Amino acid sequence: MANIIEKARAEHAYNKYVKGLESVAGLVDTLSGPGPFTIFIPTDAAFDSMSDDQQANLFADPEKLAKVLKYHIVPGYYTADDLLDRLFLKTLEGQRLRVWSDVSEVPLGEEEIATYGDALSYVASDTVTTAVRESIKINGGHVVQANVIADNGIIHVIDKVLVPQFTML
């Protein structure tokens, strides 16, 4: 199997993020190391949803680019199932990402419905798991592809470029 950088390069769905990683000194070496790392990689379409000025500003400033890219990387190994609760994950950049899913947003006063019986429980949990994974949000961005596994970590593809607080693009 490939490490997390090799896996990201092979996918070809997030070339702009990978290009950014390659331009930041030391980041590829770090992510080629033992890890484990969890990366929330924005698609190229997520970058394209930014204005041309924002993209140019981001890629022209190596310090700002490093800050934004590191904000997508979390030390540790978090599968989609781990991300179903409300979490705050500390990034390589130093700030925290807010993670939640629609499952963790049960309104007060509603009770959980218990299902009994092995067959029903298996079918219900399997069906819910697939739908629930698609409801995971990272700082408001949705996970569009989860659990791309590499030797030293895991990738979750998201539909938004995450920008740390107090960073202007």
- Residues 91-134: pLDDT tens digits? 999 999 999 887 655 444 444 444 455 544 444 444 445 566 66
Predicted model pTM: 0.81
Cα separation, 79 vs 136, in Å, equals: 11
Token reading at 163: 């920008």
Which H helix or E strand runs over 75? strand 73-75
pLDDT tens sequence across 13-38 = 889 999 999 898 889 999 988 989 99
Cα separation, 60 vs 74, in Å, equals: 24
Q: Are 154 and 147 in contact (CB under 8 A)?
A: yes
Q: Are 154 and 38 in contact (CB under 8 A)?
A: yes
